[in-house]
Structure 1
Amino acid sequence: MRVVHVVTLVSDDGAYGGPTSVAAGQLEECAARGHEVTLVALWRGAGPAPDRIGSVPLRSRPARSVLPGRFTGLMHPLLVGDLWRAMGGADVVHVHAGRDLVSLTALAVAVLRRRRFVAQTHGMVQPRRSAAVRLFDRVYVPLLRRARGCLVLTEQERRAVAGVVGENGPPLLTVPNGVRPDASGEAEHRPRGRQVLFLARLHPRKRPEAFVEMAALVHRRMPDARFTLHGADEGALPEVLRLIAAHGLEGVVSYGGALEHAEAVRAYARAAVYVLPSVDEPFGMTLIEALAAGTPVVCTDTCGIAEELAARGAGVVTDGSPRELADAVCGLLADDGRREALAAAGRRAVAEAFSVHAVTDRLEEIYGRVCQAPRHPPGRREPLRVGG
């Protein structure tokens, strides 16, 4: 099967976050199963774009800002031709679709080329009322409705996407994100000390400021604990640095910048605890990446997978306040046995529910149905019937 994925941005600092790592992981597993795969995206980095992301061939153009917005307005005119050529030979197209020009263009090209395609929105398509979004959606939503299926992460996202596409939308199919389990077991035996990690975009929704406030509370009780933040700055770094200085945490809390994927994996494995203080997180890809590295996790009760982690005993779920986050971290740092039990439950959760192998089984089922479905002239569509 020839499979083409489209994601808005690949960069050397991982700025686009989950959608990029999810697309690469899905395609790597598809390639390992013998499918012919291609990833099409914009590129942003200090050097030229790589030809491959892992084992996945990458077709890319340099990202240019043609409209306002961090990702919304990114585009390159020659990417249109790349999409046209890549989709021409595809059996199925998979668009990781946000509200941005690359996603809009990819959906339009798929429709014009009469390719069978699915869309995966990663929590990025929510009901919005601003005039700019309403104008964008006049073109975007009719294209999204032409998908053979729209992949959603959680029931919360299902409701949000249904509120955008309406009754005439494509079937909404639940497909979680997945990672490769650490089969080597090496991460279980690495010394971790009392290092606490934040690894996410420094964006208000991710609440890096709450991480610093939590660190100040933990430091009073455990002076030897150390805290590191990693991630591309999206406006919160000045406040993070101000709080570090205000609490006198220089040398205790540090900001290490954004990390490439391989470096991020090593950072997870070195940490004793991973903390994600974000609110209304659609899924929480970094949580399962930390679990795959054998690292216990702390999150908030508005994270998309918080309930699943709590039910499996695979994470500590808090109300998101610095006080509860601090209590959770102190409890884990003080109890090696509990930390090891959480780590073991986390690895089981990855293997059973969040493994890229299980996710790709589901994708192959969906792709197979997409390829078997007849093509219809413009204006007609039939729902894709897939279990779940």
Structure 2
Amino acid sequence: MVTLVSDDGAYGGPTSVATGQLEECAARGHEATLVSLWQGRSPAPARIGAVALRTRPARSLLPGRFTGIMHPLLVRDLWRSMGQADVVHIHAGRDLVSLAALAVAALRRKRFLAQTHGMVEPRRAALVRLFDRVYVPLLRRARGCLVLTERERLALAQVIGPGGPSLLTLPNGVRPDRDGAEGHWHRDREVLFLARLHPRKRPESFVEMAALVHRRVLDARFTLYGADEGSLPAVRRLIASHGLTDIVSYGGALDHAEAVRAYAKAAVYVLPSVDEPFGMTVIEAMSAGTPVVCTDGCAIADDLARRGAAVVTDGSPSELADAVCGLLADDERRHALVSAGRRAVEETFSIHAVTDRLEEIYRRLCHIGCTE
């Protein structure tokens, strides 16, 4: 279960992770079904690859872009799907869909896993505390919670409290693109931003960086892709104020296949975000053979820096610009970064390695369910 599948990838990493995990499980012979809400210009597909997709159209029942979306008949879909399942895996945020999935799993007496993707952290707002009175006791009934990083482990432990489920580390994974790195040297001199246009992703800093790079590298071009979550007006104002209308463009939201093509043609991928729980787009770019510039606010930045797989900055436009200019000017440096990024994906962040670990967890969960 994941909250939302859409044709523009609006829900971001959790949906990408859920579909990637299930597609790999299906490739290994498991019967896989994804239950979710759907949002798009066209009807929802019946399948994503070999994965059956069971959806209902998203309806806004409460304020909040994702928090309050729901469809009453999704509860019936969850009930039926969980009844047939050996393993229930809930990609859970603080939202109505996740709450419904946790409640159905509890009522069905299913042993389930929850994966929170950094979305469940301590919050003091009154509405969150009220929501958590119902949500947290259900989350505590999970047989295990999958976390990405030590930081997420500590934050989730604060929310769940002592005596909760085991917190199991599981990185995100992508399918390695073995052709991506080979074609890197034929790419355009395009610098790419591909993420939600949300204040935490800091697309304005990307534009400020572009203005600095343009003074030094006149033929570089810059493109932003992603669903707007409030930052697009500021981005457009900055582009106009810096006189960059022919240099920086916004291409809207992309589906997964379009995103892969965007990575594959870019010379550099830049993610200026802070408090980034993981950085799924970072490993997607590395898999495509694209050099990555990120910030020390990305949860996997230290690991990537140790491997020499990304240029890690403090996130300021000046440091981002220095990193981009350095990569555009140095073929040897770009080649080293691409090679190290590719190794990091294959060794740690490939969907194959991640699903090996996930299958172990699933089998242990099934074994517990059969023997208790």
Which TM-score bucket, shorter chain as reference?
over 0.9
2:183 aligned partner: 189
1:85 aligned partner: 80
1:120 aligns with 2:112: no
Query: For residues 258 and 8 of structure 2, what CA distance do their matches in structure 1 show?
Result: 10
Native 8 Å contact 1:118 1:149 kept in 2: yes
Instruction: Using the TM superposition, give the Cα deviation of residue 337 of structure 1 relative to its aligned residue in structure 2, in angstroms.
Output: 1.0
2:257 aligned partner: 262
1:56 aligned partner: 51
1:346 aligns with 2:341: yes
Q: Which runs of 4+ in 1 moved over 6 A?
A: none
1:316 aligned partner: 311
Letter in 1 for 2:310: G
Query: For residues 345 and 250 of structure 2, what CA distance do their matches in structure 1 show?
Result: 28
Deviations for 1:97-120, whole angstroms, at most 9, x for unmatched residues? 000000000000001001110000
Instruction: Using the TM superposition, give the Cα deviation of residue 345 of structure 1 relative to its aligned residue in structure 2, in angstroms.
Output: 0.6
Native 8 Å contact 1:72 1:100 kept in 2: yes
Query: For residues 233 and 189 of structure 1, what CA distance do their matches in structure 2 show?
Result: 31
Instruction: Using the TM superposition, give the Cα deviation of residue 195 of structure 1 relative to its aligned residue in structure 2, in angstroms.
Output: 0.4
- Matching residue within 188, 191, 211 for 1:216: 211
2:96 aligned partner: 101
Deviations for 1:269-289, whole angstroms, at most 9, x for unmatched residues? 100000000001000000000
Query: For residues 155 and 265 of structure 1, what CA distance do their matches in structure 2 show?
Result: 29
Native 8 Å contact 1:25 1:356 kept in 2: yes
1:385 aligned partner: none
Query: For residues 352 and 297 of structure 2, what CA distance do their matches in structure 1 show?
Result: 27
Query: For residues 10 and 144 of structure 2, what CA distance do their matches in structure 1 show?
Result: 27
Instruction: Using the TM superposition, give the Cα deviation of residue 188 of structure 1 relative to its aligned residue in structure 2, in angstroms.
Output: 1.9
Instruction: Name the SS of the counterpart of 1:227 in structure 2.
Output: strand
Deviations for 1:183-208, whole angstroms, at most 9, x for unmatched residues? 3x254225113100000000000000
Native 8 Å contact 1:116 1:375 kept in 2: no
Deviations for 1:339-372, whole angstroms, at most 9, x for unmatched residues? 0110011000000010000000110011111111
Native 8 Å contact 1:181 1:350 kept in 2: yes
Uncovered stretches (5+) of structure 1, i.e. residues with no partner: 1-5, 377-381, 383-388
Deviations for 1:269-320, whole angstroms, at most 9, x for unmatched residues? 1000000000010000000000000000000001000001001000000000
- Matching residue within 277, 288, 297 for 1:293: 288
Uncovered stretches (5+) of structure 2, i.e. residues with no partner: none
1:1-388 residue pairs with structure 2 within 5 A? Answer: 6-183=1-178, 185-190=179-184, 191-374=186-369
Letter in 2 for 1:357: H
Query: For residues 202 and 353 of structure 1, what CA distance do their matches in structure 2 show?
Result: 28
Deviations for 1:129-187, whole angstroms, at most 9, x for unmatched residues? 1100000000000000000000000000000100100102110000000000013x254
Query: For residues 115 and 187 of structure 1, what CA distance do their matches in structure 2 show?
Result: 43
TM-score between the two structures when normalised by the length of structure 2:
0.98
Query: For residues 201 and 180 of structure 2, what CA distance do their matches in structure 1 show?
Result: 29
Q: Which has the higher helix share?
A: 2
Letter in 1 for 2:55: S
TM-score between the two structures when normalised by the length of structure 1:
0.94
Alpha-carbon RMSD across the aligned residues, in angstroms, is 1.1
Native 8 Å contact 2:147 2:167 kept in 1: yes
